[in-house]
Structure 1
């Protein structure tokens, strides 16, 4: 059986595991652990606090530092309320395309990496190859953030990380971070005819949004010189403002969902410090002057660092050589790459399929893209002998 057929069959088995982020991924992790163990890998599985989610970390080759890590997330986004023409959890092949939830985002890359494991077992004589398959990337990169301190505490760590998110096999060296928050406002309900006797949570939420808009303008002045991002500055977006129950009732509860996409870590610190000061010294005192139990609580949904383009980047250089691509670009979407970069690894993003297909009904990965990925990963084997 040729490698492409083996990878396609492996992908079909993986798609049958409905690893939506709200559900367990343990069955898929166990499946991948067995396949890698069969290839001779040393496999570790780390469960989360609930015992229903897990990360997998595996190694083939010598116990030395500077190895090459192939990384992918095992979770997929929901299919509810999407108009699929095929069963999303039964891979369908049609016209050179493989349809199914997660085919391009990003089980296709994982299948290709695992299919190459027997090849790496023969090649990894001087440099190890590592595999990291994580949970809950789609809801804040929770798995990778849990795996990071475990890797940081090890004496032997990978030196290069290749994250196989769908880029149409383009080499990507940077993306912005993604920081997401829900801010909960607790006021005091009352009759709308006497607004001064209550604390209107919606009105205080509006003041908070106004502050976000002010900070968004400040961030435009902080765009790094020569920034290649579009737009070149850190952005803020207010995604939702929810609160109140009726026209004539003072709103006792409100919630704001918002995000920022930092181009540099200092921007995130500036915004968070400003908002904390604004709430503690302006909004909350005003609210509590009427109702002592009034409060503003910020819930951190996720804080994922961006991938910062680096002048010296071994991962980028390796993948450019393997793919024959001349140059590396940036993408607007977030990945786990910045988490690995923060551990001291050089990191790059390159994987099969298009992000345009991700999260949509009838998600697909073309066989041509899968074949190109396998070619790159096959060539990667020579790096393990050097």
Structure 2
């Protein structure tokens, strides 16, 4: 992870340059096909060009191979405190999806903006960039920060290096708003997630002599059944948080692979699974139970097949978010949105837990659109949601300008 620290000086021309409206910014952002693991550097170049000469302090934190990067933009006084507006630049693939129009060209119709990433979450990024550009022309008492990350969709991977670098600085922001789509409702939390790969080891052999071999697919099937039983126990007797659509921790097997030919008894089967835990559950305790199940499945075969075993290795993980109702981020969001209803909790994961834990700052989620509009063909965000987000961020700028 490398950082670049270009210095900028505002010019009179830059300060009088008109700020493009959010929809114009969104159209440019959607046009960059920033699918996870692919480059986002052209998109970052475009954003930096928008802020060039404005006095904004811009820093890149690059992936080790240099193909993609996080971008941190600070506007206003160079002091501790202020607010982070955080969003990821990567989007999910479009292959295999039946779109009505070009997925990477913004289309406006029926009060909606269509295009890959409009809901998740370039709509918020467009509003945040618009707010940042407006902020460069105002005298702020406290700074506004924009955090634009990469590879969020594959496990919140990219933002970690940026957070580590920011944590090493002597001054930190006061709080963070994650702009994932909530319908502009205020969200205080989400479950943590940990992904794993179970490797089930048997012994290969000719299918005509199958009983003399140990079929790894059979081990895998028993392992998946054990995961299902663990899930049933969590649903029946585990801790509950009724603020979630699914009010208990979940275990999910998503991928199973093994075997090369019908006449070969396979010696390896892989199962990819995940744990999504509510704050009241310890994922390590859940995993310990799963490891015990794996040993119970493999142990009886070991006298005949010494290689029989099921190993479990971590693949990815991010922490949950559980901001208390009296948290500073929730108080700010209630002030700028005008909402006084209780905060919700979202089913999907975000980078919020990483900001809260890595920087020790109050963090909440609030953004335009709805997650069920994302990741699908003809993804969209409603225009009135974008307008509401811009209104809320205008209120934020007014607060940051207060002495």
TM-score scaled by length of structure 2:
0.87
- Report the count of equivalent residues: 383
CA contact (8 A) 1:234 1:267 kept: no
Matches within 5 A, 1:142-291: 142-220=157-235, 221-224=237-240, 227-246=242-261, 248-264=263-279, 266-279=281-294, 282=296, 289-290=303-304
Q: Show structure 2 runs of 5+ residues with no match.
A: 1-16
SS in 1 for 2:321: coil
Matches within 5 A, 1:287-366: 289-290=303-304, 296-327=310-341, 328-343=343-358, 344-366=360-382
RMSD: 2.4
- Cα deviation, 1:164-221, whole Å, max 9, x if unaligned, reads 1111211111211222223233332102344453232112222322332343244342
Give the Cα–Cα distance (whole angstroms) in 2 for the partners of residues 246 and 118 of structure 1: 59
Give the Cα–Cα distance (whole angstroms) in 1 for the partners of residues 273 and 349 of structure 2: 16
Give the Cα–Cα distance (whole angstroms) in 2 for the partners of residues 142 and 33 of structure 1: 22
Give the Cα–Cα distance (whole angstroms) in 2 for the partners of residues 320 and 7 of structure 1: 23
Give the Cα–Cα distance (whole angstroms) in 2 for the partners of residues 84 and 42 of structure 1: 39
SS in 2 for 1:348: strand
Deviation, 1:39, is 3.0
- Cα deviation, 1:62-89, whole Å, max 9, x if unaligned, reads 2322220000000011111111111111
Q: Specify whether residues 88 and 230 from structure 1 end up closer, same or farther in structure 2 by C-alpha distance, changes over 3 A only.
A: closer
Q: Which one of the candidate residues 52, 55, 63 is aligned to 1:48?
A: 63
Q: Show structure 1 runs of 5+ residues with no match.
A: none
SS in 1 for 2:121: helix
Q: Tell me, yes or no, if structure 1 residue 57 matches structure 2 residue 72.
A: yes
CA contact (8 A) 2:188 2:321 kept: yes
- Cα deviation, 1:330-384, whole Å, max 9, x if unaligned, reads 2211111111121311111111122221011111222221111111111101221
Give the Cα–Cα distance (whole angstroms) in 2 for the partners of residues 115 and 271 of structure 1: 44
SS in 2 for 1:342: helix
Which one is further off, 205-214 or 78-87? Answer: 205-214
CA contact (8 A) 1:238 1:259 kept: yes
Runs of 4+ in 1 over 6 A off after TM superposition: none
Give the Cα–Cα distance (whole angstroms) in 1 for the partners of residues 133 and 304 of structure 2: 69
TM-score scaled by length of structure 1:
0.91
Q: Tell me, yes or no, if structure 1 residue 73 matches structure 2 residue 88.
A: yes
